[in-house]
Amino acid sequence: MPHPFADKLFVFIGNPTRCSRQSARDALVNVGGVQEERYSVYTHYTVAFSGAEKTKLYEKATERDRFGQTVMLTEDQFFNVLEGKVVPPERKQPPRDPNVIVFPPKDPAAQERAHEEAVSDAVSRKRLTNMARYGVSMPDGSRMKADLRPLDMAIRFDKFVAAQIEQFRKGIAVTLETLKSKPINEKAVIKGLATYNVGDVIEYQARSETEYLARVSDEINMRTVILEFTRDGLDLKSYSCGCSTNRRSGLVCKHIVAAVLAIQGGVAETKVTLGKTATVITTVDMTNTAKAVGSGSLDVFATPMMIALMERAACEVLNGALASGQTSVGTSISVNHTAASPVGATISATATIISVSGRKIDFDLTASDGDRKIGDGKHTRMIVENKRFMERLKK
């Protein structure tokens, strides 16, 4: 015979293990799904031990018991059920709102069907006016009149949130270059592509507008992936996976790659690729010396002009790689100028993409005077929309 409390979720107010009865400690072994001083929608019973009446949790439990959301048991009632003296009490019927009009019940089967139709109508926002006027069919056979405007607003809000989430999901476009730029397992992108292509991403769901949960099959195991995208949908703000490699090191694994591809519906195309490079050349003359631009007093190649040449090389890397109406703006640069170049020298600057994080592009910079290296550095540029960028400047 099954235990009366088997597979029930409990909240204990007070400490049952300090109870004077040894039977408490023995009997609790037979009680499944015990929770301590916290509620969930799955809670079945609340047991209040000695001294619990002084706690706020007791007041909360009493209110939940009054509305039939949990069953309150005293210490003695709990032990009486455990010892088989009484059966566990059932939940109470919640009190009716005095403003609700209840009509006599009709045929139960017909009322059950009417209730299901009413719920369906409410979800689809059909006939809300008539339902408010004539009442809503209840499972017990009654009809209830109530103000359904809050329900209508709730449905409107849910639909608005769902539309926002779907609109955001359509804008998610994390490129493979962005994934490769993060700390990543060897061959994770190749294996993630294969996992996505064979359909091993079982399901995914939105937890909020930017946060998603996905379940990815990995042979006999199921991996849970949690992803949070940036507001523009072009990068990952945070990520985690249940696989041992990711849990140990925080790397992007094949499950994360596959989940990203499933959510955004495939590989996001891009011409901004890691390792892409460009070189620009200039000649030192009297217009770009340190003396001419005011960064020194000698007729040698000016550091500001070397920086400008390096930045021009970075722009050249992105030339033709951006969408129509887009450009890039520099956000940071760190440069070392290690050797001087006289008038007449030919200077070349090279920029190479080393990292992509959505709209943010990082470059490695070098400058040379013939075969001699004269400078190096790092540079970051952001991809922006021309029109929006200029409009924001005017505000």
Check if the beta carbon of residue 303 is closer than 8 Å to that of residue 290: yes
- For residues 366 and 349, give the distance between their C-alpha atoms in angstroms, rounded to a whole number: 6
Report the catalytic residues: 303, 311, 337
Per-residue tokens: 82: 């455990």
29: amino acid identity, one letter: V
DSSP lists the bridge partners of residue 347 as: 282, 369
294: amino acid identity, one letter: G
